[in-house]
Amino acid sequence: MKMSQGKRKKSAARLYALQALFQMEASGQSVDAVCREFEEFRFGADLDGGTLAAADVTLFRGLTENAVNFQPQIDQMANRALAKGWPIDRIDPTLRALFRAAGAELIGIGTAPRVVISEFIEVAKAFFPEGKEPKFANGVLDHMAREAKPEAF
């Protein structure tokens, strides 16, 4: 089954949002500065003979801005899903960014939880193709989604 152009752009927006959140944490840059950089230099850019994916700019902005605006609430949801003694600040920074982007979509954008979980598991597989992280992310995201949208289950 072939993915539609709109779905591809949304998937790319989720991947870029994770990357932007990771970059913001690592560099201390503002959400506006990082969003501008991605929009100007990454979306659809030619890089080393290939073209980076185009992205749904509205979804990308919504995810990154909501992740920042709702970060305390998202982090609390993630912490409740994680094992005691392993708060979100102690986990891999890529997974931390993934949980924040997914949480932003769950509480700030209102996408169906099953779509959010499925899409971000695919993102986790892109970063951790051989690891256990996608299964771990699935468990945490399921817990977060049930907390954010209990009526959907």
Q: Which domain holds residue 124?
A: 5-152
| CATH number (domain holding residue 141) | 1.10.940.10
> What is residue 47's predicted lDDT score, i.e. its pLDDT?
67
The 10 Å CB-count burial string (b at 16+, else e) for 134-149 is bebbeebbbebbebbb
**pTM of the predicted model as reported, rounded to 2 decimal places:** 0.92
- Domains in the chain: how many in total? 1
Q: What is the dihedral of CA 10, 16, 18, 21, to 10 degrees?
A: -130
Q: pLDDT tens for residues 38-76?
A: 998 888 777 677 777 789 999 999 999 999 999 999 999
